[in-house]
Amino acid sequence: MATVLDVEGVVTRFGTAVVHDGVSFSISRGEVVALIGGSGTGKSILLKEIIGLMRPTSGRVRLLGTDVEHAGEEAMNDLRLRFGMLFQDGALFSSLNVADNIAVPLREHTKLSEETICMLVGFKLSLVGLAPDTGRKMPSQLSGGMRKRVALARALALEPEMLFLDEPTSGLDPIGARSFDSLVRTLSDSLGLTVFMVTHDLDTLLSIVDRVIALSAGKVVADGTVAAVRNAEHPWIQEYFSARAPQPGGPQ
């Protein structure tokens, strides 16, 4: 299976603080992969380095065949058309309604007519399970789960090959979080999307993820299926998964 992301020997330092100390892994097309780690392990920083918003101190990131560090402005602009990004808070434009938020990348990067853009916006809303009249609402009128879905629709506007998610279920109630998880898995399977997410949500791992990469002390300490990582003999991993273990005499 083709490799779509290759992270090789990434080192990230801020002054004397070492965040990443030789992080390496690769992701194949069609995988749904979760990056986990304790607070301060640099998960979101690594995500930003992968998509070119930050640069590591050393090492290499190759995304969809492009060397992110050495790519020129034109090459990076072309690359950004091939992946979608959902930030933790959705990052919707508060002054634009839902339809205009989703239409932003279509207006910025295509020469499609307004009629076609309007049709595509409606299609993207339906793709993420929202009614057409949602397009007329402002972000402030939406629930947290609906805002996440609108942000996802915008991330999918340009038919990306790869989708990056930063804490996608953060702030959602358990029912909303599981519904969002199911949507991501369905989209990955139906559209052939490769998904790379930063998450702390154990239920997400157990329900939709193909593979888990665990960071601790600046390094990858486990990489494999959920079952394999769960059995890794590392203190943080054992503590993380034990948070879900049933208590004696409690509900099973």
Domain boundaries, the chain: 94-159
pLDDT in tens, 90-105: 789 999 999 999 999 9
pLDDT given at position 114: 94
Distances 48 to 51, 82, 132 between C-alpha atoms, Å: 5, 16, 32
Per the listing, tokens 């993207």 go with 124
Task: Decide: helix, strand or coil at residue 95.
Answer: coil
Distance of CA 135 to the CA centre of its chain: 23
The mean pLDDT value of the chain amounts to 91
How does residue 38 score in pLDDT terms, banded at 50, 70 and 90? confident
> Measured between alpha carbons, how far is 1 from 172 in angstroms, rounded to an integer?
34
Q: How many CB atoms lie within 10 A of CB 108?
A: 10
Q: What is the pLDDT of residue 244?
A: 61
27 pLDDT tier (thresholds 50, 70, 90): very high
Is residue 251 pLDDT above 60, yes or no? Answer: no
Asked whether the predicted pLDDT for residue 70 surpasses 60, the reply is: yes
pLDDT category at 250 given cuts 50, 70, 90 is very low
The model's pTM is 0.90
In which band, very low, low, confident or very high, does the pLDDT at 188 lie, cut at 50, 70 and 90?
Answer: very high
For the cut 60, the answer to whether the pLDDT of residue 247 exceeds it is no
**pLDDT score, position 91:** 84
